[in-house]
Amino acid sequence: MSSIQTVSSERVVSLLQELKSIMLGASIDDSWMDIQKASKYCDVSPATLRRNLDKGLKASTTTGKMLFKKSELEKWLTKGEK
């Protein structure tokens, strides 16, 4: 049996745009997101992101605001996939 994963439409659109950029030879968008945008992108709560900081999820707090790099979120989201 295969498992079906729910993916937010924002994340699907973002991934499709990234694939298009790669195919056209453009640079990959590896932007920074605050915790609200990151939680919406990942379709999880901000509390889930905070909890996972101790489990390998990387974020920057240099600016005084918790920021997540899109590529790090993708790594975290696909960590358990086979």
What per-residue confidence (pLDDT) applies to 46?
A: 97
Per-residue pLDDT tens over the stretch 62-77: 999 999 999 899 889 8
Q: How many domains does the chain have?
A: 1
Q: Is the residue at 55 inside a domain?
A: yes
Q: Is the residue at 68 inside a domain?
A: yes
Q: How wide is the angle at C-alpha 74 spanned by C-alphas 17 and 14, nearest 5°? A: 20
Kindly indicate the confidence band of residue 81, based on its pLDDT and cuts at 50, 70 and 90. low
On whether the CB atoms of residues 19 and 11 are closer than 8 A, the answer is no
Q: Is the residue at 79 inside a domain?
A: yes
Q: Is the residue at 22 inside a domain?
A: no
Per-residue pLDDT tens over the stretch 10-21: 778 878 877 877
Q: What is the span of the domain harbouring residue 48?
A: 31-82
Report yes or no on whether pTM surpasses 0.75: no
Q: Is the residue at 40 inside a domain?
A: yes
Q: Is the residue at 67 inside a domain?
A: yes
Please give the single-letter amino acid code of residue 1. M
CA atoms within 13 A on the CB side of 79: 11
